[in-house]
Amino acid sequence: MATSKTKTPRIKSVQSTQSKAPQKSSVKVIDDPILKAMSKMDSWSNAMTGIGGVRDKTMGMGICPAVPLNEAQLEALYMTDDLASTIVDSIPEDSMSKNIMIKGEGSEHLTSVFDRLNFLDTFIEAWKWGRLHGGGAIFMGIQDVDQSSQLNPRTHGKLLYTLVLDRWEMQVASYYTDPTLPKYGQPRTYRVTPRSSNGSVSNTMLGVEVHESRFIMFGGASTPKRFKAANNGWDASVLQRSYDVLRDYAGIWRSASYAVSDMSQGVFKIKGLVDMISEGHKDKLLDRMELVDMARSVARSVVVDADTEDFSVVGSANLGAIPTILDQANSRVAAAARMPVTRLMGTSPGGLNATGDSDLSNWYGVIDIAREQIARPRLLKLLHVIARSYGITTEGLDVEFPALWSLSDLEEADLNNKNASTDQLYLSMGVITKEEIREKLSASAIYDIEPTIPSQVPSTPESSTAVQTEQSNETIVSEDQTLTPST
């Protein structure tokens, strides 16, 4: 009976709970979608301290969708912010700083045309606008009937002119729609509206549909598909990621300049100042203050009325932390730009025994990648069009880039000394000969040395005897008679 009594209330309790209306829970329901997203955490949290929980204010920071910078913002950044322009210009300018070397059978003629028509400057300009705006191009004005047709590299007409465009002067007209093509989903034709330096639009090219093969295209930063779709199919600018960092950096430097300007402030106390202003003696007051400001210096004293005036210097801002803050800000903006601080700021490396060689070596590695992946294929496309236009052979056509790293006079002398020691060692071991060393020095163009003239093969006693025997058996013919050996 006792057992049933203990079970009965338990059963009744369950039934009564089901029959009653649902009670209000003490747990608060979060209706805000942002707070709901924040409350679902897959990271560390501490229920005792609240760190990592809903009440942790640091959890309110999140990633916001990027809004593409427009044309006006990008041009303002490029023209007013020196660091922004350096970020845009650095890779194109450094990649082409040593010019290019054109190889192949017609390289001499092709190089002459390329330099005479300033194609390198055109190439660098288009590359810059591609990085700044997320898209740039060189339009090759070729003498063809239909500009919307694909350019035939074997039969196209003469190159009449080139035109540098940015993405705001080009609108996608059609796309490749065949999924079996390698360029599926990419722009097929563009409508161009080129603007001149005075802002006017060319009527000749206005709205003309041009095939993408007639452009040498330059992109911006690596961009996801969704961002491209929001940006009308174009890449993001290389300034898109570093925009917030550049803005904060400018604010830090401006705050530092304010701190310097407010480092010390002169305070002029005058008894009855408010009464003087209200009674119309403002001009006398300003004249008195101007006289004090002009007279005070480290070489002069300030004389004031002992009863009615007082002058003192208030505040001396602590500027000791500013250099550290600025150095860290320099490193942060350099990281956003993916450049060494020395290249971005144009400064020498600081610190004991700091040479900056490692930074420069890493940067030159970035430039070498840009040369091979961006510059080389586009240069070859342009050079093939130029060569066909001027009747130049393209047999063996290629582009080489001179080395960016150049040795100082001291480093070059040290290297030559080491090479000479190595040659001397190999010579003493009999690995190489003096003639081979001479030929190597002649080919290196370091010394003005003529190549070695091959020496005659030394004669042996056996060969000398054979020659003498052969000569004694020969018939000697003179002008008067023929002499034969006597038997």
188-224 pLDDT tens trace: 999 998 887 766 666 677 778 999 999 999 999 999 9
Distance CA 160, CA 224 (A): 37
Residue 211, pLDDT score: 95
CB 183 within 8 A of CB 176: yes
pLDDT band at 438 (very low <50, low <70, confident <90, very high): confident
CB 266 within 8 A of CB 310: no
| Residue at 396: amino acid letter | G
Q: Is the pLDDT of residue 163 over 70?
A: yes
| Three-class DSSP category at 174 | strand
Residue 372, pLDDT score: 96
CB 367 within 8 A of CB 373: no
Residue 91, pLDDT score: 96
Residue bearing the bigger pLDDT, 267 or 93:
93
- Residue whose C-alpha is closest to residue 166's, from 126, 206, 202, 207: 126
For β-strands 309-314 and 265-270, DSSP reports them as antiparallel
pLDDT band at 373 (very low <50, low <70, confident <90, very high): very high
Residue bearing the bigger pLDDT, 406 or 350:
406
Distance CA 70, CA 239 (A): 11
DSSP track, 1-46? -HHHHHHHHHHHHHHHHHHSPPPPPSSPP---HHHHHHHS--S---
Please give the average per-residue pLDDT across 26-51, as a whole number.
Answer: 61
pLDDT band at 387 (very low <50, low <70, confident <90, very high): very high
- What tokens appear for 404 in the block? 């960016």
Distance CA 105, CA 397 (A): 7
For β-strands 265-270 and 215-219, DSSP reports them as unpaired
- From the CA atom positions of the chain, what is the Rg in Å? 41
Which H or E element spans position 160?
Answer: strand 159-166
- What tokens appear for 354 in the block? 């700091």
Residue 412, pLDDT score: 79
Residue 486, pLDDT score: 41
pLDDT per residue over 334-357, tens digit each? 999 999 998 999 877 665 445 567
pLDDT per residue over 78-92, tens digit each? 999 999 999 999 999
Distance CA 103, CA 96 (A): 16
Residue bearing the bigger pLDDT, 55 or 234:
234
Q: Is the pLDDT of residue 454 over 50?
A: yes
Residue 28, pLDDT score: 53
- Residue whose C-alpha is closest to residue 219's, from 135, 159, 149: 135
Distance CA 266, CA 309 (A): 13
pLDDT band at 17 (very low <50, low <70, confident <90, very high): very low
Q: Output the pTM of the full model.
A: 0.71
Please give the average per-residue pLDDT across 400-426, as a whole number.
Answer: 85
- What tokens appear for 218 in the block? 């330059």
Residue 206, pLDDT score: 75
Distance of CA 103 to the CA centre of its chain: 27
Please give the average per-residue pLDDT across 285-310, as a whole number.
Answer: 76
Distance CA 350, CA 342 (A): 9
- What tokens appear for 394 in the block? 């393209």
The sign of the dihedral angle between the CA atoms of 266, 268, 269, 272 is: negative
CB 431 within 8 A of CB 145: no
Indicate the DSSP class of residue 373: I
pLDDT band at 476 (very low <50, low <70, confident <90, very high): very low
DSSP track, 58-118? GGG--PPPPPPP-HHHHHHHHHH-HHHHHHHHHHHHHHTTT--EEESTTHHHHHHHHHHTT
Please give the average per-residue pLDDT across 410-417, as a whole number.
Answer: 83
Distance CA 74, CA 67 (A): 13
CB 157 within 8 A of CB 141: no
Indicate the DSSP class of residue 297: B
Please give the average per-residue pLDDT across 122-138, as a whole number.
Answer: 97
Q: Is the pLDDT of residue 312 over 50?
A: yes
DSSP track, 201-267? BPTTTTTEEEEGGGEEEEE-B---HHHHHHTTTPPBPTTTTTHHHHHHHHHHHHHHHHHHHTSSEEE
Q: Which of 157-171, 371-385, 472-486 has the lowest mean pLDDT?
A: 472-486
CB atoms under 10 Å from CB of 9, counted, come to 10
- What tokens appear for 462 in the block? 């056996």
User: Which percentage of the chain shows pLDDT scores above 90?
Assistant: 42
pLDDT band at 442 (very low <50, low <70, confident <90, very high): confident
Residue 7, pLDDT score: 47
